[in-house]
Amino acid sequence: MEQALEGGCVVYWVGTSWKMNKTLAEATDFIKALAGFVPGFDDRIQPFVIPPFTAAREVKKALATTRVKVGAQNMHWADAGAWTGEISPVLYRRSCLEADSIVGLA
């Protein structure tokens, strides 16, 4: 994904959605390795990860001192309700992610 900023600068969003992969331990190991590479990234690259909800809080915490953005894989439009298996924006916000989070597609 590409984002044009003021002054004609372009920022490239580079990241990955983990789908139904990575246990909490695997996610933690991956993030530790990723965090070591981030300082070497060009400023025009905005790195991001989209972990499963089960790992989102720990991933967000582990990346707090980096510039890696953490997103949500899936988000239901309702704040609450009888939606089996769905995660609402309220649950994401209260558990780990801000309102401006990336929502993964596909």
The whole-number pLDDT of residue 71 equals 87
Reference 69, options 40, 33, 93, 98; nearest CA is 98
Task: Name every residue whose Cβ is closer than 8 Å to that of residue 59 and which is 6 or more positions away in sequence.
Answer: 27, 28, 31, 49, 51, 70
Q: Would you mind telling me the total number of residues written for the chain in this entry?
A: 106
Per-residue pLDDT at 102: 64
Give per-residue pLDDT as tens, 4-52.
Answer: 666 668 889 899 889 999 999 999 999 999 988 888 888 889 999 999 9
Q: How confident is the model at residue 104 (pLDDT cuts 50, 70, 90)?
A: low
Q: Per-domain residue ranges for the chain? A: 2-72
Q: What pLDDT is attached to residue 97? A: 72
pLDDT at residue 7, as a whole number:
66
